[in-house]
Structure 1
Amino acid sequence: MHALLPQLEISLLDPHLGFPHFTAIDSLFCEGLTLPKPTNAGFFQSILPRLVKAVTDTQENLLLFETPEFIERDKFAWFRDEEFSRQTLAGLNPYSIQLVTDWPMKSKLDPKIYGPPESLITTELVEREIRGIMTVNEALKSKSLFVLDYHDLLLPYVNKVREVEGTTLYGSRALFFLTKDGTLRPVAIELTRPPTSDKPQWKQVFTPTWDATGCWLWRLAKAHVCAHDVGYHQLVIHWLRTHCCTEPYIIAANRQLSAMHPIYRLLHPHFRYTMEINALARESLINAGGIIESAFSPAKYSTELGSAAYNQLWRFDMEALPADLIRRGMAVEDPTAEHGLRLTIEDYPFANDGLILWDAIKQWVNDYVNHYYPEPSLVQSDRELQAWWTEVRTKGHADKKDEPWWPVLKTPENLIHILTTIIWVTAGHHAAVNFGQYMFAGYFPNRPTIARTNMPTENPSDEEFKNFLKKPEVELLKCFPSQIQATKVMAVLDVLSNHSPDEEYLGENMEPSWEENPVIKAAFEQFSGRLKELEGIIDERNTNLKLKNRVGAGVVPYELLKPFSKPGVTGRGVPNSISI
């Protein structure tokens, strides 16, 4: 990355130059981008072999992107509302969609600073858009309304981000309706700009429509929401909740647990390479002026926004998959249901596969912990273990150390839940939100990382609105990332989505100490067997055309939680650790 990014900047001298037409985007996958030869010969070929191919008749290199499977299967899928909705359940970020429980929707921010809190997505508008199928009250009662809500998190940053050249931001809400066939349909998008020193609050609702102007405004509104979703995914769902929040577990384990301690041995495979990859990320991805700040929606406020999200949203007890689903209204506890949960949307591929993986991890941890701690008193009397958990809470998360939601560590059951949560975060959570990045965002119109222009209806001049009416496609291209932003991010996402040849997958390699213990060896073999069963279950699900959210004509089958993978960008595989 260190050598590639300067070469891109040399090739693309204008940092704000956008793509003039969609065929120019397509050319990245069929013609490539010529780069000056780097001083570090062989760097591109060794580090980015999938992307960079030598040009034999010149002294230059060709950056030629592999066509992502998502776009290879259906080039125009990104354009459709059905796919926009489907990806909230089976795409790059399946962690943000939530059930609407309060109506009407309303901001919790100070109206004196941010303007009127009431949403313009009204009862009348929703009932019109769902064509009288049911009333809003009936939809709420039947759990049929869902939302991507980035309104209150983003709104405080809108005016600051707009001061950064070449970017913009809104607070946003995207509302979806659950249809009878179990799929989501977008109902409305609301974009909000808070008051400025010389302008009142601006907000507008956009809906799917049939007239030409309305269609293009809807497409632009979707581009803004996708940029918000990608930024939140990268900063919060991916970086904060997996990479960052795993560090305290690692540091405390190395400080407080001996290398021979059974819990250290259990956790150690799940910490492989994480500190190293995080150090590299701080050097070139989330650093000041790095990839994230230069090419993602929050711009130079990215880290600050991530910190705000941590302060407002992060709770250890909600990092467990079942608790996360319940918090978002995507599941309710039901002792009679599989996994003890009943999903609000039955065909929710991430949750369907994730809960099987969660249960497999929990059973393995249960067998392991109960072997070493047959009596509850042994957990409380284990000084190393207690010191580890105390340091995680009081040093690793010092600003949240007094929160009442921290699990106590008194019994084997407490320990099992804590360890299952940590292993889920390093394995299942990270795999679900990392290894599909190139597949879904490698073709950036599907998941633009930044929106560079305001909506044409926000205080436009007559000339600006005429330009939009004359060439709306050009306005959409202007809104998308610039050429340098797009190519930088595409190269990075390819690397991040790649499984290395020495990847260690969940349930694949038995630690030597476990092999020597017949009880632990048998438990691990059972764990490995469950993961192989999960592979088969996922394969079977991906042939069931009734599961419209995970399979269909031109749809990439949902495989992100298939436990094993070959090397490369495969869109599957659950490594033990956050190793990339």
Structure 2
Amino acid sequence: MPVYNVSLKEFSFDIRVEKDFGDIILVILEKEEHLVNVQWFCGDIKVKTPSGKCFEFPYQRWIEDTDKVFVHEGTARLPQNDTELVRDKRGKALEYRLTKFSRKEEPAGFPMSTDNLPPEVEFDAAKYFEFQINAVKAIGGTVVDKCKVRFQSWKDVTDFEKILDGFDINNTLLGKVMQDWRKDYMFGYQFLNGCNPVMIKKCTEIPDKFPVTHEMVKGFLKKGVTLQEEITAGNIYIVDYEILEGVPTSSDLVFLTAPLCLLYKNRLDQIVPIAIQLSQTPGEKSPIFLPSDNEDDWMLAKMWVKSADFIVHQLVTHLLKTHLISEVFEVAMYRQLSKVHPVYKLLKPHVRFTMAINAKARGNLISEGGVISKISSLNTNGTNKVIKRAMETLTYESLCFPETIKDRRMEDVLLKYYYRDDGMMIWEAIHNFVSAVVEIYYDSDEAVQEDVEIQGFVEDCHSGMNNSQKFPESLKTREELVKYLTVVIFNASAQHAAVNFGQFDWYGWVPNSPSTMRKPPPEQKGTVDMQYIMDSLPDRECSSLVLGTTWALSRFQKNEHYLGMYPVTRFTEQPVKEAIKTFHKKLEEVTDTIKKRNEGLTFDYGYLSPDKIPNSVAI
């Protein structure tokens, strides 16, 4: 565990040298050797020459040993535009960082991480203590179940309210979820704007493994139309959890299914479920549940779908596609990009604390005996299998927001898909900002091709994906570079915010999205009653841990750096500073647009409001 000195003091030093050395491009720092290796944090260095010129050397890093530290002048430069001497220094610095940020081989099919955490990527003191305090609150008693008897079923659904004692849920989204969670419209709404808004896609044909017929669902469609006509009209949607098929559970006491769910956009423009099958194999022991079935059957079928959604959200949508993928980009950045490279300066705010929070996740969440194994049906073996399967289908294009929307055929403007609408505005804002920065430093496509550091960065990211051949190995044009960097920034900021900060809202009421199920899925209709449902839902201990964990993961840091906020000035050039101002102004406009839209909504959607999007994956 890192040791933090919370009584840090700030000092400024003035060193006067009368001789004029001309243009200064490099400053060398060296810390004296002491018996105790005291670390020093160097902020910025400014040099004013006798002739009146001023040179800035932003550093903002710890000096942790007695090696010489080379600090480049703050003007961002491509390697091909540097002198031979400076290129040599850049190369030697990157050779050192290759060993400092060595790749760690994860299990086959997993994205690679790094072997160690240098001080520059650790939590700062404020973040560390805030994280620890929230962890204590979540697990140690502030938000956990006060019930005397643990590991037992609840007697009634309303008993889940006991673990919410102490929370003010009036007029909150969680409070509204608690009121309407049983209703079909609320179930369907979450596939659009809940924690996992990436699973739903338009159904173009009913799959053979899900033999839903018109006769089954005609009572839930508009009068006079057939199921096939509604498919053709684009009103039928589907979610499929095939990725969970055959995944082993952690014990014989918990269960997992790979359900399919058919959804319908009704005349009120609501998305509602019209058919659910709890396995990938149709047959007598895998009936298709319908809204016309008895209330307990239908309620439990929906719970099974949301339980599967919980697992896929946590392991794939959240952990893999934001946390672990962002770490691949971060490690490659440190290994391949000089600190004076404009892309390094651009990406640095968007990798803040990512390696540190992932180290916590590996140690506390997905490890053997970690939180995931305690609240879900999976142990490490099952978790690894799900992530490996997800990596097999992960592509570069699947991280490009507009392309994922199009791939799932979710462009329908009449659909109340606020995740899509807000995400497109954020994507465009980031893309325009990145484009402006790239155009400042790259005057041609050839400049991208000749940039050995950016090519090394892209190749390192490709190899860091570990067995995935579906990511670029090189970039040839400025347009490709802009898109690539937009993917990195959007994924670390907006996408993570969209799938992380709603967890307490949607998972705080455990029956709405059970993290695990303790009874097998019914193989026949009419065999379920309320007691069976209560025995299926998470027990008291598990429910408390779910609540505490999702509460902690939904907290913002007090001094959070939100999208467009760059408190540490890494760029010294005025054109980039102007681009940042334009970016910030655009984000303010998007924030205002979202706030005005939300004023007319029963369930406001704010996860992609720029003033609630941290710059990086940091929780």
Length-normalised TM-score, structure 2: 0.74
Distance 1:176 1:459 in 2: 20
1:392-419 Cα deviation digits (max 9, x unpaired) = 102x023013x4x637401110100000
Could you tell me which residue of structure 2 aligns to residue 557 of structure 1?
Answer: 604
Change in 2 beyond 3 A, CA 1:66/1:316: farther
CA contact (8 A) 2:434 2:486 kept: yes
1:394-453 Cα deviation digits (max 9, x unpaired) = 2x023013x4x6374011101000000111100110000001110111111122111221
Distance 2:138 2:613 in 1: 28
Partner of residue 388 from structure 1, selected from 440, 457, 463: 457
**Gaps in structure 1 of 5+ consecutive residues:** 31-63, 107-117, 332-342, 545-550, 565-572
Structure 1 residue 156 corresponds to structure 2 residue 259? no
Could you tell me which residue of structure 2 aligns to residue 249 of structure 1?
Answer: 329
Q: Which amino acid aligns with 1:420?
A: T
- Map 1:81-96 → 2, pairs under 5 A: 81-96=184-199
Q: Secondary structure at the match of 2:277?
A: strand
Instruction: After TM superposition, give the deviation of residue 182 of structure 1 in Å.
Output: 2.3
Partner of residue 418 from structure 1, selected from 484, 494, 504: 484
Deviates more, 1:261-270 or 1:12-21: 12-21
Distance 1:370 1:314 in 2: 30
Change in 2 beyond 3 A, CA 1:78/1:504: same
Partner of residue 265 from structure 2, selected from 153, 178, 181: 178
CA contact (8 A) 2:153 2:534 kept: yes
CA contact (8 A) 1:427 1:578 kept: yes
Q: Which amino acid aligns with 1:417?
A: K
Q: Name the one with the larger helix percent.
A: 1
Q: Secondary structure at the match of 2:520?
A: coil
Change in 2 beyond 3 A, CA 1:87/1:126: same
Q: Secondary structure at the match of 1:399?
A: coil
| Higher CA-based Rg | 2
Q: Which amino acid aligns with 1:178?
A: K
Partner of residue 354 from structure 1, selected from 413, 418, 423: 423
Distance 2:575 2:367 in 1: 46
Change in 2 beyond 3 A, CA 1:506/1:492: same
1:107-132 Cα deviation digits (max 9, x unpaired) = xxxxxxxxxxx323223323343254
CA contact (8 A) 1:294 1:300 kept: no
Q: Which amino acid aligns with 1:125?
A: M
Could you tell me which residue of structure 1 aligns to residue 274 of structure 2?
Answer: 187
Distance 1:74 1:422 in 2: 33
1:41-74 Cα deviation digits (max 9, x unpaired) = xxxxxxxxxxxxxxxxxxxxxxx44538223246
Could you tell me which residue of structure 2 aligns to residue 137 of structure 1?
Answer: 228
Instruction: After TM superposition, give the deviation of residue 458 of structure 1 in Å.
Output: 4.5
Deviates more, 1:64-73 or 1:259-268: 64-73
Partner of residue 169 from structure 2, selected from 67, 75, 87: 67
Structure 1 residue 479 corresponds to structure 2 residue 562? no
Q: Which amino acid aligns with 1:379?
A: V
Could you tell me which residue of structure 1 aligns to residue 587 of structure 2?
Answer: 531
Instruction: After TM superposition, give the deviation of residue 388 of structure 1 in Å.
Output: 0.8
Could you tell me which residue of structure 1 aligns to residue 400 of structure 2?
Answer: 320
Structure 1 residue 493 corresponds to structure 2 residue 573? no
CA contact (8 A) 2:144 2:163 kept: no
CA contact (8 A) 1:16 1:166 kept: no
Could you tell me which residue of structure 1 aligns to residue 616 of structure 2?
Answer: 577
- Map 1:282-431 → 2, pairs under 5 A: 282-331=362-411, 343=412, 345-394=414-463, 396-401=464-469, 403=470, 406=472, 408-431=474-497
CA contact (8 A) 1:155 1:171 kept: yes
Change in 2 beyond 3 A, CA 1:522/1:186: same
Q: Which amino acid aligns with 1:557?
A: D
Distance 2:452 2:284 in 1: 56
Could you tell me which residue of structure 2 aligns to residue 41 of structure 1?
Answer: none
Q: Which amino acid aligns with 2:268?
A: D
Distance 2:519 2:374 in 1: 15
Could you tell me which residue of structure 2 aligns to residue 207 of structure 1?
Answer: 290
Instruction: After TM superposition, give the deviation of residue 329 of structure 1 in Å.
Output: 1.6
Distance 1:9 1:29 in 2: 9
Q: Secondary structure at the match of 1:156?
A: coil
Instruction: After TM superposition, give the deviation of residue 100 of structure 1 in Å.
Output: 0.8
Instruction: After TM superposition, give the deviation of residue 539 of structure 1 in Å.
Output: 1.3
CA contact (8 A) 2:145 2:163 kept: no
**Gaps in structure 2 of 5+ consecutive residues:** 1-134
Could you tell me which residue of structure 2 aligns to residue 126 of structure 1?
Answer: 217
Distance 1:273 1:505 in 2: 14
Instruction: After TM superposition, give the deviation of residue 481 of structure 1 in Å.
Output: 0.9
Instruction: After TM superposition, give the deviation of residue 90 of structure 1 in Å.
Output: 1.1
Change in 2 beyond 3 A, CA 1:71/1:4: closer
Q: Which amino acid aligns with 1:174?
A: C
Q: Secondary structure at the match of 2:512?
A: coil
Distance 1:194 1:142 in 2: 28
RMSD between superposed Cα atoms in Å: 2.5
Q: Which amino acid aligns with 1:383?
A: V
Change in 2 beyond 3 A, CA 1:139/1:71: same
Q: Secondary structure at the match of 1:522?
A: helix
Length-normalised TM-score, structure 1: 0.78
Over the matched positions of the two proteins, sequence identity in percent amounts to: 28
Instruction: After TM superposition, give the deviation of residue 75 of structure 1 in Å.
Output: 3.5
Structure 1 residue 19 corresponds to structure 2 residue 19? no
Deviates more, 1:234-243 or 1:119-128: 119-128
1:230-258 Cα deviation digits (max 9, x unpaired) = 11111100000000111111111111111
CA contact (8 A) 1:449 1:481 kept: yes
Change in 2 beyond 3 A, CA 1:315/1:345: farther
CA contact (8 A) 2:145 2:540 kept: no
Change in 2 beyond 3 A, CA 1:538/1:438: same
Instruction: After TM superposition, give the deviation of residue 474 of structure 1 in Å.
Output: 2.6
Distance 1:373 1:438 in 2: 44
Q: Secondary structure at the match of 1:92?
A: coil
CA contact (8 A) 2:434 2:482 kept: yes
Structure 1 residue 147 corresponds to structure 2 residue 238? yes
CA contact (8 A) 1:452 1:479 kept: yes
* Count of aligned pairs: 483
Change in 2 beyond 3 A, CA 1:226/1:297: farther
1:274-301 Cα deviation digits (max 9, x unpaired) = 0000000111111112111221244554
CA contact (8 A) 2:315 2:386 kept: yes
Q: Which amino acid aligns with 1:169?
A: L
Q: Which amino acid aligns with 1:25?
A: F
Could you tell me which residue of structure 2 aligns to residue 227 of structure 1?
Answer: 307
Could you tell me which residue of structure 1 aligns to residue 508 of structure 2?
Answer: 442
Q: Secondary structure at the match of 2:286?
A: strand
Change in 2 beyond 3 A, CA 1:534/1:252: same
1:72-97 Cα deviation digits (max 9, x unpaired) = 24632111111111111111111111
CA contact (8 A) 1:146 1:175 kept: yes
Distance 2:525 2:587 in 1: 55
CA contact (8 A) 2:287 2:525 kept: no
CA contact (8 A) 1:407 1:414 kept: no
Structure 1 residue 263 corresponds to structure 2 residue 343? yes
Deviates more, 1:7-16 or 1:70-79: 7-16
Distance 2:218 2:145 in 1: 53
Instruction: After TM superposition, give the deviation of residue 12 of structure 1 in Å.
Output: 7.0
CA contact (8 A) 2:462 2:468 kept: yes
Distance 1:493 1:361 in 2: 28
Change in 2 beyond 3 A, CA 1:174/1:532: same
Q: Secondary structure at the match of 1:246?
A: helix
Instruction: After TM superposition, give the deviation of residue 375 of structure 1 in Å.
Output: 1.4
Distance 2:156 2:537 in 1: 11
CA contact (8 A) 1:427 1:574 kept: yes
